[in-house]
Amino acid sequence: MTATQLATDTAQRCQVMGIINVTPDSFSDGGRFLDVDAAVRRGHELVRDGADILDVGGESTRPGAQRASEAEELARVVPVVEGLVRSGFPVSVDTMRASVARQAVAAGAVIVNDVSGGLADPEMLPFLAEADVTCVLMHWRAHSTRMDDFCYYDSVVDDVCTELRGRVEAALRAGVRAERIVLDPGLGFAKNATQSWELLASLARLRDLGFPILVGASRKRFLAEAASYGRRSPDVPADRDEASDAVAAIAAAEGAWGVRVHAVSGAAAASRVAARLRTSAVATGLVGARTGER
Ligand code: PMM
């Protein structure tokens, strides 16, 4: 399948972003795809399962993680981006470093996913403006070693919206075009479980910011409570896949631009079901034809 086919197919549908963590220490898949061939093979599997975009990251952001060096991150990410781009897949690079984003974009990445929303590296927003690529600006307050000290909000939804608006203004000031911006509430980043659930319950508020919204709930700790049933363990991240699929279905139905997931097949079905339902709702006059709004 070519990048063009993928893009056409996904025009009206929640994008399914399949995760490839090329790291030794990510919480759910650390160490599994460190080898370039294994990571590229994983990309092929994810696309076969229905991924629209492959998100390649070389630095773990789990709570408490130490930063990878720039050299390590580049060595992990760039060959994998090259391999996936050669296969014709749309690739996103998950990085907080402008230098890594630059080399990944030079290798063919079409999205820069910066979990710090441009805060970690002062060169990032100017680079995004210059490269004119789609960028995900996530809500973030501090690096992983310290982020649990920053879970304090007057109202998590109001504060995240205000801080995301601040990142948008900074990006626009740097010259990033508004149509290139995707926002992400940063579930689990400087948020406890209750706060992550509150944000997930407030997707309509996030959409009111006026930008496409990406939701990254997959396998995260806050899901453990809802994911622990039957033989599933609250402590095994992959046991949260069905709960992650349920979040993807809700996010797609609520009009999210995309969901970032480890196991893509459930999210791919959710995205298609939500799109089909929307078509039917428009046809029966339940929602407006132009916007798909309820
Ligand atoms: N979460 C992680 C990493 N990158 N990017 C975006 N945009 N949103 C997220 O929620 C997000 C992210 C951490 O999860 P992982 O270690 O499983 O990749």
Q: Is the pLDDT of residue 256 over 90?
A: yes
Q: Is the pLDDT of residue 7 over 80?
A: no
Q: Does residue 294 belong to any structural domain of this protein? A: no
Q: Does residue 62 belong to any structural domain of this protein? A: yes
pLDDT tens track for 224-240? 999 988 989 889 999 99
> Is the distance from CB of 227 to CB of 259 less than 8 angstroms?
no
User: Is there an atom of ligand 1 within 6 Å of 65 CB?
Assistant: no
Q: Domain total for the chain?
A: 1
Q: Where in the sequence is the domain holding 69, given as residue range(s)?
A: 15-268
pLDDT given for residue 148 in this prediction: 87
Which pair of structure tokens corresponds to residue 221?
């700790």
Q: Does residue 241 belong to any structural domain of this protein? A: yes
pLDDT given for residue 289 in this prediction: 62
* Residues ≥6 apart with Cβ < 8 Å to 12: 275
State the first-to-last Cα distance of the chain, in angstroms, to the nearest integer.
34
Q: Determine what percent of the chain is predicted with pLDDT higher than 90.
A: 78
Q: Does residue 34 belong to any structural domain of this protein? A: yes
Strand order in 91-94's β-sheet? 181-184, 134-138, 111-114, 91-94, 53-57, 15-21, 258-261, 214-215
Is 165 catalytic? The answer is no
Closest CA to 257 of 213, 218, 227: 213
Q: Does residue 285 belong to any structural domain of this protein? A: no
Q: Does residue 277 belong to any structural domain of this protein? A: no
Q: Is the pLDDT of residue 78 over 80?
A: yes
Catalytic choice (220, 221, 240, 278): 220
pLDDT given for residue 6 in this prediction: 42
Domain containing 93 — which CATH number? 3.20.20.20
Q: Does residue 289 belong to any structural domain of this protein? A: no
Q: Which of 30-44, 49-63, 68-82 has the lowest mean pLDDT?
A: 30-44
At 112, is the pLDDT very low, low, confident or very high (cuts 50, 70, 90)? Answer: very high
- Pair type for strands 91-94 and 181-184: unpaired
Stated pTM of the model: 0.93
pLDDT given for residue 290 in this prediction: 53
At 281, is the pLDDT very low, low, confident or very high (cuts 50, 70, 90)? Answer: confident
Which pair of structure tokens corresponds to residue 151?
């879970």
Is 97 catalytic? The answer is no
pLDDT given for residue 234 in this prediction: 86
Q: Does residue 4 belong to any structural domain of this protein? A: no
d(CA 248, CA 227): 14
Scored b (16 or more CB within 10 A) or e, 180-200 reads bbbbbbbbbbbbebebbbbbb
Of all protein residues, the one whose alpha carbon is nearest to atom 2 of ligand 1 is 61
What string of DSSP letters covers 50-88?
A: T-SEEEEESS--STTPPPPPHHHHHHHHHHHHHHHHHTT
Distance 216 CA to ligand 1 centre (A): 6
What string of DSSP letters covers 165-227?
A: HHHHHHHHHHT--GGGEEEE--TTSS--HHHHHHHHTTHHHHHTTSS-BEE--TT-GGGHHHH
Of all protein residues, the one whose alpha carbon is nearest to atom 3 of ligand 1 is 61
* Residue whose CB lies within 8 A of the most ligand 1 atoms, among 16, 19, 62, 160, for a mutation test: 19
d(CA 104, CA 94): 10
pLDDT given for residue 144 in this prediction: 86
d(CA 65, CA 58): 12
Distance 62 CA to ligand 1 centre (A): 8
User: Is there an atom of ligand 1 within 6 Å of 222 CB?
Assistant: no
The sign of the torsion formed by the CA atoms of 184, 189, 191, 196 equals positive
> Is the distance from CB of 11 to CB of 221 less than 8 angstroms?
no
d(CA 178, CA 171): 8
For Cα atoms 174, 112, 248, give the angle at the middle one, nearest 5 degrees: 120
> Is the distance from CB of 31 to CB of 39 less than 8 angstroms?
no
d(CA 282, CA 287): 5
- Longest pairwise C-alpha distance within the chain: 55
